[in-house]
Amino acid sequence: MKKVVIITTALLLSATCFCQSNKKDENIRELLNLTGASKVGIQLMGNMFDAYKKQLPNVPAEFWDEVMKEVKAEEITELVIPIYAKYYTEQEILSLIEFYKSPLGKKVIEYMPLISQDSFSVGQDWGKKLSERVISRLKQKGYIQNG
């Protein structure tokens, strides 16, 4: 009888954990859809294919269109869910969903791609200027030759 109780308890606990995990996964899926994170993954793949197109101009456009059709947002979403689950509690996921449904959260979602793009450009310029200063200083100190 004791064994039956222990086994039943273990099964109930594992079922409860599984249900909680599934609910957390569903919430993460909602968060990713809400923020458009899956679309970003698709967009990155499109950018990668654009780079391939430039490197491989002999490949017909139909090939890239065919391959792009195979890229599914759901695939990247399923790969990312465990990462979110690792770093956020279920309550934090729910709070993020609530935030992104708010007017400010919607604004963050709307402007984040533009902010990221502008920040990337600024970062590139900053990196270039920093690199030029470092090279200039290396030349001054005689560590590298003028070239």
Per residue in 99-109, pLDDT tens? 999 999 999 99
pLDDT digits (tens, 9 = 90+) for 62-88: 998 888 888 888 888 999 999 999 999
Residue 128 covered by a domain:
no
Residue 35: closest CA among 89, 83, 102: 102
**Nearest in space to 34 (alpha carbons), one of 102, 85, 117, 119:** 102
Residue at 114 is within a domain: no
CA separation (Å) from 70 to 6, 32, 61? 47, 20, 15
The alpha-helical segments, DSSP class H, found in 36-102 are 37-55, 61-69, 73-87, 90-101
Residue 94 counted as domain residue: yes
Domain that holds residue 63: 2-101
Residue 133 belongs to a domain: no
Q: Is residue 77 part of a domain?
A: yes
Full-model pTM: 0.65
CA–CA distance, 72 with 136 (Å, rounded to integer): 47
| Separation of alpha carbons 48 and 68, rounded Å | 11
- 21's tokens: 């995990």
Average pLDDT score, the chain: 85
pLDDT digit string, tens, across residues 9-36: 555 554 444 445 699 999 999 999 999 8
Q: Is 107 part of a structural domain of the chain?
A: no
Closest CA to 94 of 84, 103, 79: 84
Check: CB of residue 64 under 8 Å from CB of residue 48.
no
Cβ–Cβ < 8 Å for 84, 28: yes
Domain total in the chain: 1
CB 71 within 8 A of CB 42: yes
Q: Is residue 108 part of a domain?
A: no
